């Protein structure tokens, strides 16, 4: 399958640079995955599409201020580090700039309290760094680090919490699960009041978010691993929902990937508590085992995420919906508008 099949024209001015003042005032395009019918709403209207007995599943990961700026100890040259995966024992997988000049053995100084030595190269051009510091690492990171906004966002973010969901709990992500940015506590209360259950999983967003596809055939792409966790409490709720005939609605592609990972492990049987690393890649032809509907943002052309939503709704339906979104001037990507595929 040719990657170019998932390309589309996107004017640069439709890439949202800042979040809206009110989270749930973003626009919402709804797409019926069976017949391709679309409608246009504001995000608060999502309650009209949720039914008593459904379960809404959210990713409660929390973004860390993972972008660090320092200098090479030997030359004083500027260096930038983006933390991606905690490997334990103060070692992290990271992206570095300038990549060609930061090699094994180089020491990067971020402050008097924080240094790192490059231990090795990792796959896809990353590095493994070993940190030394005085104090508590997370406190130093909160002080020195910046939020790791995607490269297509050029404007400065004044409030860090606007790149967090209101229910973010477990620190570890290098990017936000952006479909969740549209929710407020008040909207979640309204959803619960309709008889919709709300459940949580955790997937820490990592390297794959920052890597464009570099292959021509979809099947040749290799996804990067990300850590996920699904509790027995959530598994029980999802099992009860399915048994009662309710829908499981994933908020975001990260939630979708977690649910489908566990669903594959359980081979169509009852879901069970699970944690570990997933590299699941969903594209048309994939048979969903858990997820019935999906709330998501609008994604990059030729990205694995466009392929995931195409697996759920069909490529033709997705590309037509995206064409409408462009014509109607929807806002795209992390701080953009939302889509509900049902």
Digit-coded pLDDT (tens) for 9-67 = 999 999 999 999 999 999 999 999 999 999 999 999 999 999 999 999 999 999 999 99
Q: Are 221 and 285 within one domain?
A: yes
Q: Which residue has the higher pLDDT, 208 or 218?
A: 218
Q: Are 103 and 249 within one domain?
A: no
Query: Does residue 142 register a pLDDT over 70?
Result: yes
Residue among 12, 13, 203, 210 nearest 96 (CA): 210
DSSP 225: P
Q: Identify the bridge partners of residue 173 per DSSP, sorted by sequence position.
A: 63
CA distance 183 to 341: 17
> What was the pLDDT predicted at 123?
73
The answer to whether the CB of 91 falls within 8 A of the CB of 129 is: yes
For residue 149, tell me if it sits in a domain.
no
Q: Are 303 and 209 within one domain?
A: yes
Residue among 193, 179, 163, 236 nearest 59 (CA): 179
Q: Are 198 and 325 within one domain?
A: yes
User: For a pLDDT cut of 90, what percent of the chain falls above it?
Assistant: 92
CATH number at residue 107: 2.40.10.240
- Show the domain range for 109: 67-144
- Write the secondary structure of 80-102 as one string of H (helix), E (strand) and C (coil): EEEEEEEEECCEEEEEEECHHHC
Show the CA angle centred on residue 27, arms to residues 21 and 33, nearest 5°.
150
Summarize the confidence of residues 149-176 as an average pLDDT.
Answer: 93
Q: Are 175 and 296 within one domain?
A: yes
Digit-coded pLDDT (tens) for 214-255 = 899 999 999 988 999 999 999 999 999 999 999 999 999 999
Summarize the confidence of residues 275-288 as an average pLDDT.
Answer: 97
DSSP3 helix / strand / coil % (the chain, rounded to 5): 30, 30, 40
CA distance 282 to 260: 9
Please count the structural domains in the chain: 2
Q: Are 267 and 164 within one domain?
A: yes
Of 121, 144, 167, the residue at which a domain comes to its end is 144
Q: Are 19 and 118 within one domain?
A: no
Neighbours of 192 (CB within 10 A): 12
Phi first, then psi: what are they for 133, rounded to 5°? Answer: -160, 165
CA distance 255 to 180: 10
Show the CA angle centred on residue 87, arms to residues 86 and 92, nearest 5°.
60
Q: Are 246 and 174 within one domain?
A: yes
Average pLDDT, rounded, for the chain: 96
Report the range of poorest mean pLDDT among 112-126, 127-141, 157-171, 174-188. Answer: 112-126
CATH number at residue 251: 3.40.1780.10
Q: Are 49 and 119 within one domain?
A: no
For residue 258, tell me if it sits in a domain.
yes
The alpha carbon of 203 is separated from its chain's Cα centroid by a whole number of angstroms, namely: 8
Digit-coded pLDDT (tens) for 288-309 = 999 999 999 999 999 999 999 9
Within 155-243, residue ranges assigned H as helices are 185-193, 232-243
Cis peptide before 113 (omega within 30 of 0): no
pLDDT category of residue 210 using cuts at 50, 70 and 90: low
CA distance 184 to 162: 11
Q: Are 43 and 191 within one domain?
A: yes
Q: Looking at the whole model, is its pTM more than 0.85?
A: yes
Phi first, then psi: what are they for 332, rounded to 5°? Answer: -105, 160
For residue 150, tell me if it sits in a domain.
no
Q: Are 128 and 175 within one domain?
A: no
Neighbours of 101 (CB within 10 A): 13
pLDDT category of residue 206 using cuts at 50, 70 and 90: confident
Q: Are 126 and 257 within one domain?
A: no
């Amino acid at each position: 399958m040719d990657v170019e099949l998932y390309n589309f024209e996107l004017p640069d001015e439709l890439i949202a640079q800042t979040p809206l003042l009110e989270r749930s005032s973003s626009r919402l395009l709804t797409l019926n995955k069976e017949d391709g019918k679309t409608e246009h709403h504001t995000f608060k209207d999502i309650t009209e599409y949720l039914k008593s007995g459904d379960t809404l599943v959210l990713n409660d990961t929390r973004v860390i201020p993972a972008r660090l700026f320092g200098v090479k100890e030997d030359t004083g040259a500027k260096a930038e580090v983006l933390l991606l995966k905690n490997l334990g024992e103060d070692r992290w997988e990271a992206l570095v700039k300038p990549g060609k000049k930061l090699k094994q053995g180089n020491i990067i100084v971020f402050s008097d309290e924080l240094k790192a030595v490059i231990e090795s190269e990792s796959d896809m051009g990353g590095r493994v760094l070993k940190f030394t510091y005085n104090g508590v690492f997370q406190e130093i990171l909160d002080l020195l680090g910046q939020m790791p906004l995607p490269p297509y966002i050029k404007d400065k973010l004044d409030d860090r919490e606007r790149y967090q969901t209101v229910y973010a709990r477990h620190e570890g992500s290098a990017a936000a699960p952006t479909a969740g940015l549209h929710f407020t506590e008040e909207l979640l209360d309204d959803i619960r009041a309709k008889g919709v259950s709300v459940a949580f999983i955790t997937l820490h967003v990592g390297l794959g978010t920052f890597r464009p596809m570099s292959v021509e055939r979809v099947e040749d792409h290799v996804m990067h691993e990300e850590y996920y966790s699904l509790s027995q409490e959530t598994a029980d709720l999802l099992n009860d929902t399915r048994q009662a005939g309710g829908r499981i609605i994933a908020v975001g592609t990260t939630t979708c990937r977690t649910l489908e990972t566990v669903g594959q492990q359980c081979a169509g049987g009852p879901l069970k508590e699970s944690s570990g690393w997933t590299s699941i890649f969903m594209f048309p032809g994939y048979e969903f085992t858990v997820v019935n509907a999906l709330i998501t943002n609008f994604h990059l052309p030729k990205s694995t995420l466009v392929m995931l939503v195409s697996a759920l709704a069909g490529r033709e339906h997705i590309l037509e919906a995206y064409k409408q979104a462009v014509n109607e001037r929807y806002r795209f990507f992390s701080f953009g508008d939302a889509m509900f595929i049902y």
